[in-house]
Structure 1
Amino acid sequence: MIPPVVRVSRLAVGPSGAMAGERAIPEETPVAIVHNGSTYAVMMATPGDLEDFGYGFSLTEGVIGQLSDVETVETLEFDHEDGVVGVEIRLWINAERAGQMVARRRQIAGPTGCGLCGVESLELAVKPARAVGEGRRFTAADVSRAIAALPPAQTLNHQTRAVHAAAFWEPGAGLVAVREDVGRHNALDKLVGHLLREGHAAGGGIVLLTSRVSIEMVQKTAMLGASVLVAVSAPTALAVRTAEAAGITLAAIARDDGFEVFTHPHRIALDGAEKERAAHVG
């Protein structure tokens, strides 16, 4: 098994001179998502929680719609002559869903092979996110508690200070799951896959991100079915428009002293002092 963290030699240089030593850094590995024997995509990812990654990526890409669409899954490692170790996540999709998958592959075969190659590629890149259900409401204190719980749970980041995290938080339960990866999209896909495999509905909790919020993060959150997304960093303008259209409450720039709500604020209940401040700003 490929370790997710590797210790390497390094030379630390500072005002007082140079000092030899070691540093823990995250591993980055090519990971192929293979559906029924055909490679769908190859991603660079941290080699951990890879079955979660396979399920989550397949769901957020629309290849599967539910857990039962996958009949079996296996993860295989391959050594290449140049020393690079690669991984294949092989998912076998049932016959009914596989027929839909073949039609979809025919539709996206051009765009996936040649980057931005025309109007169809651009439309696929900015496709609307799936509309989410109403979900539940949270207090501002809930959001603050959720964000505060995330840093202590980032075990890989404690070692490397170089990976992203995606987590799911619920009132009463706290952090249900945390997944980390060198890629922010991968971390979210791993979280989605974990919740899917556990049969854990997302409408009653908050998706947490340590990264900025781009359109893909909103699209993936929508595919999960979560109605509230909170991030430490800022969103893009397109992400805000996409969250608005999908019905997702998007809060970002979440810090110890507060956060900013960009869309559908009705799901976050404010106390009296917060309401007064909001009215003053308005």
Structure 2
Amino acid sequence: MTLHLSPVIRLPRMSVAQDVCAAGERVVPEETPVALTYNGSTHAVMMASPSDLEDFALGFSLSEGIVSDPADLKSMEIAEHDRGCEIRMWLSDRCSGSYQTRRRALAGPVGCGLCGVESLAEATRPVKPVTGSLRLQPGAIKAAMADLSEAQRLNREARAIHAAAFWRPNEGVVAIREDVGRHNALDKLAGALASASEPCSDGIVLLTSRVSVEMVQKTGRMGVSILVAISAPTALAVRVAESCGITLVAIARGDAFEVFTHPDRIALRTS
């Protein structure tokens, strides 16, 4: 079938350079919940680009060991929903029995998806609105990202590890956690802050990665009102940040950054 979803979308944003901002647009990747089902049962919901889904479904099935040969997928159907896409697959008789045995013993696999989520609605569940009153000068964004880079101890050694940090004005980096998975790093940070009973409304979250919807959702659940990342956001992440009240700052490099949502928390001047 032909999907109506586009893998990329053009969005408005505010571009900031040398403390001067200007309106403009940027093309960002779309991010869509894609449910993979086998023989009528949901196996996982992955956040993915809505393109080449047949290749995605087969590659996932092979890499996860669900099938060993493309012929073991008897049929495949892609259904588009308001909240995402569903790839419905039916297995050959020789694979069906082993898959059911595996499913009963399945532990959540490692990866960047929302494995184990049983519905598209769960993958895009709303985030409680964030109402933090923190407001920053543009220079604070540059300072925060410099502090983040300096605090990445593990990444300086391995050069392939993501970090998530919590930063406060006048304090700098309060806590940082690193992990090969960007989701894992942010989860670790949230746990560290909760264990230390650190308030989160007076600081910002810093990321070394792109901003997908899960990163916005996790930040919102922490009660943080400003999220700053070194890379770009997806379209879905921007929509969720807008709806829950998070100021999303991305592509923060040197003294330049772009504000996608709720710019009132950044003291900007227009060109």
SS in 2 for 1:132: coil
Aligned equivalents of 1:228, 1:276: Cα separation in 2: 20
Match for residue 128 of structure 2? 130
Residues 1:238 and 2:236 are matched in the alignment: yes
Match for residue 206 of structure 1? 204
Which one has the bigger helix percentage?
1
SS in 2 for 1:138: coil
Partner of residue 257 from structure 1, selected from 255, 266, 269: 255
Following TM superposition, the consecutive aligned residue runs of length 4 or more in structure 1 with deviations greater than 2 angstroms are 112-117
Contact 1:116 1:122 in 2 (8 A): no
Match for residue 155 of structure 1? 153
Change (3 A) 1:116 1:170: closer
Change (3 A) 1:182 1:113: closer
1:113, distance to aligned residue in structure 2 (A): 7.9
Aligned equivalents of 1:120, 1:186: Cα separation in 2: 21
Match for residue 3 of structure 1? none
Aligned equivalents of 2:214, 2:141: Cα separation in 1: 22
Aligned equivalents of 1:265, 1:236: Cα separation in 2: 18
Change (3 A) 1:159 1:137: same
Contact 2:211 2:229 in 1 (8 A): yes
Structure 1 counterpart of 2:193, which letter?
Answer: L
Contact 2:166 2:173 in 1 (8 A): yes
Structure 1, unmatched stretches of 5+, are 1-108, 278-282
Aligned equivalents of 1:276, 1:228: Cα separation in 2: 20
Change (3 A) 1:190 1:264: same
Aligned equivalents of 2:146, 2:158: Cα separation in 1: 20
Aligned equivalents of 2:114, 2:187: Cα separation in 1: 23
1:148, distance to aligned residue in structure 2 (A): 1.1
1:126, distance to aligned residue in structure 2 (A): 1.0
Structure 2 counterpart of 1:276, which letter?
Answer: T
Match for residue 194 of structure 1? 192
1:276, distance to aligned residue in structure 2 (A): 3.2
Match for residue 182 of structure 1? 180
1:257, distance to aligned residue in structure 2 (A): 3.0
Superposed counterparts of 1:27-46, under 5 Å: none
Match for residue 219 of structure 2? 221
Structure 2 counterpart of 1:131, which letter?
Answer: P
Structure 2, unmatched stretches of 5+, are 1-103
Contact 2:132 2:202 in 1 (8 A): no
Contact 1:170 1:206 in 2 (8 A): yes
Query: 1:81-129: per-residue Cα shift (whole Å, max 9, x none)?
Result: xxxxxxxxxxxxxxxxxxxxxxxxxxxx9xx989999x96111111112
SS in 1 for 2:173: strand
Partner of residue 270 from structure 2, selected from 263, 269, 276: 276
1:131, distance to aligned residue in structure 2 (A): 1.0
Structure 2 counterpart of 1:196, which letter?
Answer: A
Query: 1:143-171: per-residue Cα shift (whole Å, max 9, x none)?
Result: 11101111111010000001000001101
SS in 1 for 2:119: helix
Change (3 A) 1:257 1:142: closer
Query: 1:7-35: per-residue Cα shift (whole Å, max 9, x none)?
Result: xxxxxxxxxxxxxxxxxxxxxxxxxxxxx
TM-score when scaled to structure 2?
A: 0.57
TM-score when scaled to structure 1?
A: 0.55
Superposed counterparts of 1:53-92, under 5 Å: none
Aligned equivalents of 2:221, 2:239: Cα separation in 1: 16
Change (3 A) 1:172 1:113: closer
Partner of residue 266 from structure 1, selected from 252, 256, 264: 264
Calculate percent identity across the aligned residue pairs.
Answer: 60
1:135, distance to aligned residue in structure 2 (A): 2.9
